[in-house]
Structure 1
Amino acid sequence: MKYRSLALLGALALSAGLTGCSSSDDASDSAGGGRTVLDVWLMRDSVSAEFQKEFETGFEKAHPDIDAKIQIQEWDGIGEKVTAALASNDAPDVIEVGNTQVAQYAQSGGLTDFSGKVSDLGGDAWLKGLAEPGAYEGKQYGIPYYAANRVVIYRTDLFEKAGVDAAAIKTREDWIAATKQLNKGGTQGIYLPGQNWYVLSGFVWDEGGDLATESGGKWKGGLDSPEALRAMDFYQSLQALGKGPKDSDEAQPPQAEVMAGGEVAQIIAVPGGAKVVEEHNPELKGKLGFFPIPGKTAGTPGSVFTGGSDLVVPAVAKHQDEAYTFIKELTGDTWQRKLAPAMSYVPNRTTLADAVAADPGTAAMAVGAAQGHATPNTPQWAAVEAKNPIKEYMTAVLTGQDAAKAAAGASDTITSTLNSGS
């Protein structure tokens, strides 16, 4: 599961109600027998071919008047493609988008507002990390689809050798103590790159802070808050228990490959990273385990960045009612319980976590997902990620520069960037 952070632009100042026009009677939009042809864009790796076939068959059996045509799209270049679709008169009826991208599309009014349907869609149990970025200026445009987040991937053999019980790690203090115990005899207790800002974000949220906050229509960077500074202090303590580089992120070098090539006891990654480790070192097959990132107290797991997708409907889509029917089915209990284990994703609501209980990695994700967050909900956040002052700030602190001064500088950059489009 890759994390979606593409810089996308919203387009087209249009609006439409949920019960807007549906051209089911238009011959050009009808299949044989008067069935409505519903055009749907889902993203690569969102569904398998097997699941897609099963869903289409089940959906059309339950709704024989609708012919669902699912087209799989590639993430590369999807921003421009969605923008063009929203600005056209021939948009698909349903589109899957990254959860943090909804605000960029909703900004100009190009999406259908589902605010009146939240309760009917089970919104009271939605994962906050999907639901909150799916809303913009008080209206719900994105409907949570599925989620993924980081967990701790660990070497069971190295834990056993060091006498560490992963099940006993419930708090940050437990985690630090266990990592110190692991960090002996040539073993790296943890490999944590210095610029893994998604992990830092989780620690910031745990402390009660945020990357940026909005008040009166203006944004302010939050890295210089006392809460965020405490989070960076903890990150520094954890990072020091390994040999991770201070000036690069988890992709440089790929941390799963680092784990595969040495005596590394832990990394923080999505569970799929374990497969990468095994591919590069088959001897580790069956020797990898998972647990949620620990929180400050035993009863609450650590906060995590929620990656994943929401489903949206273009305001100009011709089949608004049928699009809603499709979304209600795909995001409802029955199909979420099938999708999650089939694709190793976290279901869109907390009440469905048991659907992935049999998969250790996904089950660990689901525990963390209950404490999931998204990046600040503004179309300008993509511009912050493009500059990424958070990474520069982290390296500055880890290389001995004054934390408060570096945080203030990064926060100023975030502030100016977020307000540049207001």
Structure 2
Amino acid sequence: MKRQLLAAVGVTALLASVAGCGSGGPAKAGPAAADPKDATGTVSVWLMPEAQNNWPELVRSVNGQFAAKYPKVQLKLRYQTWKDKVGNLDAALKDGSAPDVVELGNTETMKYILSGSLAPVDKSTFENSDSWIRGLVNTCTYQDKLFCVPYYAGARVGIYNSAMFQDATGSAEFPKTEDDLRTALDKVQARHRGDRTFSALYLPGPYWYAAMSYVAAYGGAIARFDSSGSWHGTLHDARSQQGIQHFVDLVKTYNHGDLTVNEADQSGVLAKQKAAVLYGNGWEVAGATAPLTGDPKLADSLRQAVMPGPNGKPLPSFIGGSDLAVTAKSPSAELAKDWIRMFTSGKSEQVLADKDTLPNNLTQLEQLKTKAATAAAANAVPDAWFTPLAPGWSAVEKQNVLVGMLDDILGGTSVDAATKDADAAIDKLINTPS
């Protein structure tokens, strides 16, 4: 998931904490020390800017809890940036200076699981683990072993200009079905017929996260694990092709921009009022209304809604979010796991929920399903999809196999031919660790 890039800040602090559980369900005991107050050593933690900027009080609280439980243990906390974290972590793993606890975006986990860089963890020792969001658990699981702990979730939603809808359709509400949405989009487009660059629905052609959501809506998949013990591409399957064709039809019908441009600046398109709807992350509203990157006057008009998909159902979303892991060679692994228990306890996750951030479990997610600011994303999370948890998936992404397929289709190649070529490329890469 795209993140706001902030300057890295290093902070060293003495930490501490109460037992690893708050309310919300039992968890087994933490480190098996005779007396936690006699434990010694250092626990180093790398967190990302969201913790520093959005819930610093949670970090302080957990650090205080940890210090109370382990008064002789020093904790060194450092904030990374999404731009630099992977490079810094790779270097630290290589030279033996890796942190004990590291926050990973859920698309980053498989790389480190497959390289043997993360220590396995016991799911049953973490609070609310019986109701963790399935998509997040999948990002931490390989060969039936858990290598990280879900931290918080994210999901893509429909973001729309309610003033444009009011003007064109007489209603500021977002349609609940795709048929009704298309009817509304046609009216919005007609209202802006004088602007050939205006897109009623701005759906970028290479936006493979969106394209694969339509594949998931039809029951298709990028790739599947077969009985022979190997992954193989399944984009050429009929259901996957249906989803891709559906996506392509929407792009061709409603996106009047350059079809080769990806989704990186779609919030900017919304800010310039060159689009009425986009499919993206909730935080893109902030970019569209920010003083420097967008138009603050749109703050009252831009809203989030569940994106309707085919067959009268919501469009399945890619599961976003972060996980917390203990590095494999940590000399303080049990202490590190206990810090994670505290940071992901029911009490801690409630702090996130109170800030409209999706917690790691379905129990606490429930309260956000009816809250205006979070309902769209919260309702999209339980059925969200994720990329194949395969050894070579990162190579598939790096070689832009899906982007290339979509570019080819929008350039005139048939869906049948392009998906067949994409599957062949996936088959060459997906089973080899990258």
Interval of TM-score (by shorter of Structure 1 and Structure 2): 0.7 to 0.9
Name the counterpart of 1:38.
Answer: 43
- What is the alpha-carbon root mean square deviation over aligned residues? 3.1
Question: Is residue 306 of structure 2 the alignment partner of residue 292 of structure 1?
Answer: yes
Greater alpha carbon shift after TM alignment, 116-125 vs 301-310: 116-125
Which residues of structure 2 form unaligned runs of 5+? 5-27, 193-197
Paired-residue identity, %: 29
Name the counterpart of 1:212.
Answer: 223
Name the counterpart of 1:148.
Answer: 154
- Specify which of 100, 121, 130 is matched with residue 107 of structure 2: 100
Matches within 5 A, 1:1-400: 2=2, 36-48=41-53, 49-61=56-68, 67-87=74-94, 90-114=97-121, 116-118=122-124, 120-163=126-169, 165=171, 167=173, 169-186=175-192, 188-215=199-226, 216-239=228-251, 240-251=253-264, 254-279=265-290, 280-298=294-312, 300-342=313-355, 344-354=356-366, 356=368, 360-400=372-412
In structure 2, relative to structure 1, the CA distance for the partners of 1:362 and 1:62 (3 Å cut) is farther
Greater alpha carbon shift after TM alignment, 137-146 vs 239-248: 239-248
CA-to-aligned-CA distance 1:59-108 (integer Å, 9 cap, x gap): 44466565543211222343343334445555422111121222221224
Distance in structure 1 (CA, Å) of the matches to 2:217 and 2:172: 21
Task: Report if the CA contact (8 A) 2:289-2:297 is conserved.
Answer: yes
In structure 2, relative to structure 1, the CA distance for the partners of 1:125 and 1:415 (3 Å cut) is same
Distance in structure 1 (CA, Å) of the matches to 2:87 and 2:269: 35
Give the aligned residue type for 1:396.
D
Name the counterpart of 2:25.
Answer: none
Distance in structure 2 (CA, Å) of the matches to 1:21 and 1:355: 32
Q: What SS does the aligned partner of 2:78 have?
A: strand
Question: Is residue 399 of structure 2 the alignment partner of residue 404 of structure 1?
Answer: no
Task: Report if the CA contact (8 A) 1:152-1:267 is conserved.
Answer: yes
Q: What SS does the aligned partner of 1:132 have?
A: helix
Distance in structure 2 (CA, Å) of the matches to 1:384 and 1:88: 28
Distance in structure 2 (CA, Å) of the matches to 1:224 and 1:3: 32
Q: What SS does the aligned partner of 1:39 have?
A: strand
In structure 2, relative to structure 1, the CA distance for the partners of 1:23 and 1:204 (3 Å cut) is same
Distance in structure 2 (CA, Å) of the matches to 1:132 and 1:247: 32
How far 1:213 moved relative to its partner?
1.3
TM-score by length of 2: 0.82
Task: Report if the CA contact (8 A) 1:194-1:244 is conserved.
Answer: no
Task: Report if the CA contact (8 A) 1:337-1:355 is conserved.
Answer: no
In structure 2, relative to structure 1, the CA distance for the partners of 1:250 and 1:91 (3 Å cut) is closer
In structure 2, relative to structure 1, the CA distance for the partners of 1:376 and 1:164 (3 Å cut) is farther
How far 1:22 moved relative to its partner?
8.7
Task: Report if the CA contact (8 A) 1:42-1:95 is conserved.
Answer: yes
Distance in structure 2 (CA, Å) of the matches to 1:47 and 1:406: 44
Name the counterpart of 2:23.
Answer: none
In structure 2, relative to structure 1, the CA distance for the partners of 1:214 and 1:157 (3 Å cut) is same
Task: Report if the CA contact (8 A) 1:99-1:142 is conserved.
Answer: no
Q: What SS does the aligned partner of 2:2 have?
A: coil
Name the counterpart of 1:14.
Answer: none
TM-score by length of 1: 0.84
Give the aligned residue type for 2:229.
G
Task: Report if the CA contact (8 A) 2:174-2:305 is conserved.
Answer: no
Task: Report if the CA contact (8 A) 1:341-1:359 is conserved.
Answer: no
Task: Give the length in aligned residue pairs.
Answer: 399
CA-to-aligned-CA distance 1:235-283 (integer Å, 9 cap, x gap): 12222223132212112xx111111213421111111111221122222
Name the counterpart of 2:14.
Answer: none
Greater alpha carbon shift after TM alignment, 151-160 vs 387-396: 387-396
Task: Report if the CA contact (8 A) 2:391-2:431 is conserved.
Answer: no
How far 1:121 moved relative to its partner?
3.5
Task: Report if the CA contact (8 A) 2:152-2:359 is conserved.
Answer: yes
Which residues of structure 1 form unaligned runs of 5+? 5-17
Distance in structure 1 (CA, Å) of the matches to 2:152 and 2:339: 15
Give the aligned residue type for 2:46.
W
